[in-house]
Amino acid sequence: EKNLIAVKPNIDLKQAVEIAKEKLNVKTEGMEFNNSYYEHDNNKSAWNLSWRNKKNNYEGIEIDVDAVTGDILRFSKWDYSKNDNSKIPKYTKEAALKAAEDFLLKLEPNKYKEVKFLNGSKFSNDSDLYSAYYTFAFSRQINGINF
């Protein structure tokens, strides 16, 4: 039997939304808000915040905020309504990766040196014949341990 200890969140929902909007400067006007709270097996807890365009499902934002530290754990933003149906990426993979790294450096300058790109991760992909987009995954690592 697993011995699980629930982690009491330091960050409530309202604070999580404020942190996400302040750190990421997201615009959510005209979007429908949903949220959930979840706990991992490793005694970590987070708020999942999502906004979807009320008129269509082509535009959205999804952010996970650590419920104890307030750190941004995950950020995804998309707008497929502007898709020009091109299968050719606008940027090279290298340029897109550099933009992602610059974004992380701006978001968390003090923690950036601990962040590693997870090349080959199931969450990182090359643009292929079916997509003009790249997805990159990063993990914060201290002494070789992912956080």
Give 45-104 pLDDT, tens digit per residue: 999 999 999 888 788 999 999 999 999 999 998 887 776 666 677 888 899 999 999 999
Q: Which fold has domain 1-83?
A: Nuclear Transport Factor 2; Chain: A, (3.10.450)
pLDDT surpasses 70 at 113: yes
Condensed to tens digits (0 to 9), the pLDDT of residues 8-45 reads 679 999 999 999 999 999 989 989 999 999 987 777 89
Q: What token pair was written down for 130?
A: 């079916």
Q: Where are the domains of the chain?
A: 1-83, 84-147
Closest CA relative to residue 93, chosen from 134, 122, 121: 134
Contact 127, 133 (CB under 8 A): yes
State how far the Cα of 31 lies from the Cα of 27, in Å rounded to an integer.
Answer: 9
